[in-house]
Amino acid sequence: LLKKRVFPFIENLSIIDAASEGIAVGRHNDHVIFVSNAVPGDVCDVQVFSKRKSFMEGKATVFHTYSDKRESPFCEHFGVCGGCKWQNMKYEHQLYFKQKNVSDSLQRIGKVDISEMKPILASENTTYYRNKLEYTFSNKRWLEKEDMETGRYDKNLNGLGFHIPKLFDKVLDINHCWLQNEISNRIRNAVREYAFKHELTFFDIRAQTGFLRNLLVRSSSTGDLMVILVFAYNDDELQKNILDFIGNSFPEISSLMFVVNTKRNDTISDQVIELHKGNPFIMEKMDDLQFKIGPVSFYQTNSIQAHNLYKITKSLANLTGNEIVYDLYTGTGTIANFIAKDCKKVVGIEYVPSAIDDAHENSRINEINNTVFYAGDIAKVLNDEFVAINGKPEIIITDPPRAGMHADVVKQILNIEPLRIVYVSCNPATQARDIELMSEKYSVVEIQPVDMFPHTQHVENVVLLVRK
């Protein structure tokens, strides 16, 4: 017989820090303890549920002292929903720990002198700041305590909301989400009620059955609104009826689209996306620029803070109007087009071909003629021949995914030796790793953290490197 493993129960643990994953941190004997449901400054009892050689994981069960950094969460779904983990921490302290994450990573991994770090730029809005949300239909929603007590689960197990963390087959049925403006809540709740009334089936991810699969809502500062409904199979009558209901109920929608996704995963970028009503895009505005956003276009999800991020990036680039600038991981060319009028030429490279199509279109609609864009693996595209064709850049802007830059990209940047590098990152750890690789030739002269996602642990960071 297998012996059941018994984990320790730790009393009066002082919570001393917050980890980059948004989990609280304590220390017991020689172990670091990662604790959920706690805030730095709390003193609590912790039930450990996982033990490794150098750390343990646990959950706070009894609180002896509550931290002065705490505040009451405003969302009814807090603690079950996987988003907004830091709602129980005052915003000024969230900013402190985000900045600490950046400084710790840069010092520990990148060996960077952080004396030039500026205070983190707070988000103007701490609720309703997102312009995009994706909801999931499930016929096996997460059962909360109230469901079990009232027996409501016996009647209806369908739900529309967000995946429960670490459980791919469970969805939390969302009543009100504080991330996107109110129209998003009204659309989601109306669609769910329509589905209940007309007995439409919700998707079963294990069995790959059910009709309704996903609901995406995108909004913009211009007032445009895009809704995409994803079905698991074709049924022309059912599809038309629910799409007509959405379009008639919400005349604010400027782009109503749908997808039939028969794959085992939820990605729709490789699917045919069909227009039911309105335009196949929405428009976003930044300064005097317009950006066309299609159903799978990438655009920073906090529009106001994205504008601030790009202004910081342009400021650190210190453009005079005569430079050739390479914009690596350009995405849909937002940064490239944002800085184009202030430099001689911008060369954007991006792995995703459809994003490059968007970048070309955004240059066209803004009558920008000094941008060129290339689709391909940057580690292979950015070579000596490419530089010979496009000209040697005085400035390189790079905004890679969370994994950071490929080692070959770093190597080629060092070969090119631009005067300045502006490194935008959503992951301070991989940014610090790449900076350390460039430290032989480049010095860090300015650091600017930016909070793009209040109530989460995520932080954006912009670093200016200057050639020695």
Structure tokens at 324: 């050739």
Q: Where are the alpha helices (DSSP H) in 340-374?
A: 353-365
Distance CA 85, CA 18 (A): 11
Q: Side chain identity at 325, as an amino acid letter?
A: V
List Cβ neighbours of 451 (8 Å cut-off, separation of 6 or more).
Answer: 94, 95, 98, 120, 121, 122, 123, 305, 459, 460
Going 70 to 72 to 73 to 79, the CA torsion angle's sign is positive
* CA count, 13 A, side-chain hemisphere, 448: 19
List Cβ neighbours of 183 (8 Å cut-off, separation of 6 or more).
Answer: 217, 219, 225, 250, 252
List Cβ neighbours of 446 (8 Å cut-off, separation of 6 or more).
Answer: 116, 118, 316, 463, 464
Q: Side chain identity at 460, as an amino acid letter?
A: E
Q: Give the phi and the psi of residue 381 in degrees, each rounded to 5.
A: -70, -40
Q: What is the DSSP string of 392-415?
A: --SEEEE---TT---HHHHHHHHH
Q: Of these residues, 44, 75, 84, 426, which one is catalytic?
A: 426
Q: Side chain identity at 130, as an amino acid letter?
A: R
Distance CA 309, CA 389 (A): 30
Q: Judge whether 84 counts as a catalytic residue.
A: no
Q: Which residues have a catalytic role annotated? A: 426
